[in-house]
Amino acid sequence: MCGIIGYTGQSEALPILLEGLSRLEYRGYDSAGISVFNKNKTHTTYRAAGKLNELKKLTETSKATGLSGIGHTRWATHGEANTINAHPQSDTYGNLSVVHNGIVENYLDLKQELTNEGHLFNSDTDTETIPHLIEHYMNDGTGFEEAAEKSAARIKGANAVVVMCNDQPDKIVAFRTGNAGGVLIGYGDNEMLVASDIPAILGYTNTISHLLPGELAVLHPNSVQFKDQDGNPIKKEKTFVPNDPISIAKGDYRHFMLKEICEQPDAIIASLMGRLSSEEGLFSLEDLNLTADDINKISKVTLTGMGTSLHAAMLARLWMERIAGIPSEWDNSSEFRYREPLLDENSLFISISQSGETADTLAAMEEAKKKNISQITLCNYSNTQASRIADQTLQIRAGLEIGVAATKTFTCSLVTLYALAIYLGVQREKINGKEAAKLIEELFRLPEMIGTVLANQGQYEELATLYHSSSDFLFLGRGYNYPIALEGALKLKEVSYIHAEGYPAGEMKHGPISLIDESMPVVALVPKDELYEKMMNTINEAKSRGAIVIAVASESDTEIEQKVDHVIRIPDVSDSLSPIVASIPMQLISYYFAVRRGCDVDQPRNLAKSVTVE
Ligand code: G6P
C-alpha cells in the first residue's frame, strides 16, 4: 500500500527520499514521486508510473537541490496507475505539494465545491482535493499550518497526509484522520523525518513518535510541535526502535521471500521463547492478561483477519474448539463488519493482522469494540493501529517481513494461536497439565521439523520445471489442512500469477472435479491423520480422471508413491500441528514456480504488504 517519507534538515533531501522510498517498496506500489523544496521558495516534483527505477532515471537527468522534501509510493485506488495520478499532488498554482495514504471519502463533494470556486484539477485522484482545499483556506489569508488544520477537519475517512508549501520550505505538516494509515515522526540530529513506517527512516534515526488519528505534527529541522484534533498543543512520547540490519539486508538470498521462508525455524523459536514450558504445570503466556474467571466465562471465540491472516483465523477455530473446548467461529473482516454479528458480553474477539494496519480488520475490531467485547489482537509490530483498538496484543515476534507474500508471519501467527489455545484449554480444564505438556513438547520440535522440510528444496525446482506453464492448479485438504489448501492456492496466485483454487477435499465432487484433466496439477495435503483414508479416496478420484497429483505426505507413508505422481515429504507430526508443517511446502511451491516464471517475487503486481484502505 502507499508509502510516505518526508525529510527536513541540513542534507540534500533527494537521495534521502529516494533511499526511504526504496525501503518502502515492500509495501507494494505502482507509481512513485518526490518533491524537493529549496530556499528560493520553489520546489521540483518528479513522478513516474511503474517501479522506482523509473523515478530514479528522471532524477538523474536533472538533480533537484534542496534540504527538504516529501516522497511517495502509490498503490492506486482512485484513478489509473499513471504519472498524472502519482503523488505528490499539487494545488492550482503549484504552491503546495501533498502525499497521501488512504481514501478521502467525501472527495467528490469537495472537488465539486472547489471546482465551482475556480480550482483547476489535473488528476483523477481523491488526493488532489487536499492541496486544493488547503489552497482554498490560504486564499483567504489563512496561514499554511492553520489551513492544513482546517482542511484536516473537513476530510472524511481514514487518511495520512503530509504536505509542504513553497513559502516555508523547511516546514512539513503531517496529519491523520480516521483509523488507518500510520504516520511516524523520526527525530534526527538537526533533522526531522516523517514516514508511513519504520524501515523508511532507519539509518537516520531510531527515535520516533507515532501520530494518532486526529493528530497533526509540524516539523522543522530542529523541532516538532504536535496538536490534538481540537488544535491544542500536546506532548508525545518518544519510542526507541532497534535497528535490524540483518533482516533489512537480503544477505545471500535471491529474494526476501525465500529468506523469510528459511527464517521460520528461528522465527518460531522467537515466538515461543519464554511463553511456554513443557514441564507439567509450568505454563505462561506472559503478555496475556486474562483472569481465570475471564477465561472460564468465555462463551464463544470469534476470529477474524484478511488474506493469509484469515487462513490463520480459520485454522485457529479448530484449535480453539478441539484444544480449548470453546465454541468458535471465523469471519473475513470485511464481511464481519457488515453482518451485524451476534456477540454476547462473554465473547472473545481475536483479530490477526501481522501489520496491525489492515483497514478491514481494524474496522471489524471497531465493530466488536462497539459491542464492548473483550479483544485480543495478534501483530508482528508494537504500537500498531490494531494494538490501540484491542484490549491486549500478542506479539507474534516473526521479525521484519519484507516480501509482500506473508510467510514467516503466517507460521508465527499460527504458533502463537496454538499456544493461546493450549493456555485457554488448561485454564478451562479441557486438557490437563500432562496433555498440555505433551502438546508443548511437540510445539518445541516444530522448528526442527520445519528445518527438515526446508533442507529439501531441489524437488520444488523440479516441479516448477515440469509444471510452471500450467494455467490452473487445485489445492485440496481436509480438517486441519483445509485452511492450508486455501493458503497454498492463495500463495501460488499471489506470487506466480497461476490461477489456483483451494477446496476442502470433500467438496471436489460438487464442482471442481469438472476442471480436472491431464493438464491440471492437483496438490493434495494428505498427512497420516484422522482423515487420511478420506483424502486417499479423493486422490484416487482425481487420478482416475487423469489429474497430475502432487501429494504432501508423511515420512512414514510407504504406499503413497504408487498412488500419485510426486510426493513431498513432511515429518510425522500430530494431526493438530501438521498444518503448520504442511504450510512450508505451499510457500516453497509458490516461490519456485514464481522464480521459474520470472515473476517479481517480493513485490507481486497489484498487491500490497499492508492494505490500509477498505
Ligand atoms: C495483504 C497482503 C497479504 C496479507 C493481508 C492481511 O493482502 O498482501 O499477504 O495476508 O494483506 O495482512 P495483515 O497485515 O492484516 O496480516
Residue 98 host element (H or E): strand 96-102
The Cα 14–Cα 185 span in angstroms is 19
pTM for the complete prediction? 0.74
**Per mean pLDDT, which range of 33-47, 175-189, 374-388 is the poorest?**
175-189
| Alpha-carbon distances of 600 from 75, 418, 592, rounded to whole Å | 16, 33, 12
The residue written with cell numbers 515440469 in the block is 466
SS (H, E, C) 179-194: CCCCEEEEECCCCEEE
Q: Which pLDDT score, from 0 to 100, does residue 281 have?
A: 44
Compute the average pLDDT of residues 73-83. 83
Name the 3-class secondary structure at 389.
helix
321 Cβ partners below 8 Å, 6+ apart?
327, 328
Q: Which pLDDT score, from 0 to 100, does residue 286 have?
A: 63
How much of the chain, in percent, has pLDDT values that exceed 70? Answer: 95
pLDDT digit string, tens, across residues 326-361:
999 999 999 998 888 888 899 999 999 999 989 899
pLDDT digit string, tens, across residues 118-158:
999 999 999 999 999 999 999 999 999 999 999 999 998 88
Q: How confident is the model at residue 246 (pLDDT cuts 50, 70, 90)?
A: very low
Q: How confident is the model at residue 282 (pLDDT cuts 50, 70, 90)?
A: very low
How much of the chain, in percent, has pLDDT values that exceed 90? Answer: 69
Q: Which pLDDT score, from 0 to 100, does residue 563 have?
A: 93
**From ligand 1's centre to the CA of 162, what distance in Å?**
25
CA angle 130, 135, 141 (to 5 degrees): 145
**Per mean pLDDT, which range of 138-142, 174-178, 212-216, 337-341 is the poorest?**
337-341
**Per mean pLDDT, which range of 376-380, 453-457, 512-516, 551-555 is the poorest?**
512-516
What is the number of other CB atoms lying within 10 angstroms of the CB of residue 10?
A: 11
Q: Which pLDDT score, from 0 to 100, does residue 273 have?
A: 78
**From ligand 1's centre to the CA of 150, what distance in Å?**
34
Relative to the CA of 406, which ligand 1 atom is closest?
9
- Crossing angle between the packed helical segments 482-496 and 578-596, to the nearest 10 degrees: 20
Compute the average pLDDT of residues 248-260. 80
Relative to the CA of 28, which ligand 1 atom is closest?
8
Compute the average pLDDT of residues 316-324. 97
Mean pLDDT taken over the chain:
91
Q: Which pLDDT score, from 0 to 100, does residue 247 have?
A: 52
Are the C-beta atoms of 199 and 244 separated by less than 8 Å?
no
Q: How confident is the model at residue 239 (pLDDT cuts 50, 70, 90)?
A: confident
Relative to the CA of 607, which ligand 1 atom is closest?
8
Are the C-beta atoms of 585 and 52 separated by less than 8 Å?
no
Is the pLDDT at 25 greater than 90? The verdict is: no
Are the C-beta atoms of 560 and 553 separated by less than 8 Å?
yes
Q: What phi, psi does 198 have (nearest 5°)?
A: -60, -45
Determine which residue's CA is closest to atom 15 belonging to ligand 1. 353
Which residues are catalytically annotated?
2, 609
Are the C-beta atoms of 373 and 299 separated by less than 8 Å?
no
Q: Which pLDDT score, from 0 to 100, does residue 29 have?
A: 79
Ligand 1 interacting residues, C-beta cut-off 6 A:
306-309, 353-355, 358, 361, 404-406, 607-611
Determine which residue's CA is closest to atom 13 belonging to ligand 1. 353
Is the pLDDT at 196 greater than 60? The verdict is: yes
Q: How confident is the model at residue 441 (pLDDT cuts 50, 70, 90)?
A: confident
The residue written with cell numbers 516538532 in the block is 224
Q: How confident is the model at residue 242 (pLDDT cuts 50, 70, 90)?
A: confident
Is the pLDDT at 493 greater than 90? The verdict is: yes
**From ligand 1's centre to the CA of 609, what distance in Å?**
6
Q: Which pLDDT score, from 0 to 100, does residue 604 have?
A: 82
Compute the average pLDDT of residues 551-565. 95
Is the pLDDT at 185 greater than 90? The verdict is: yes
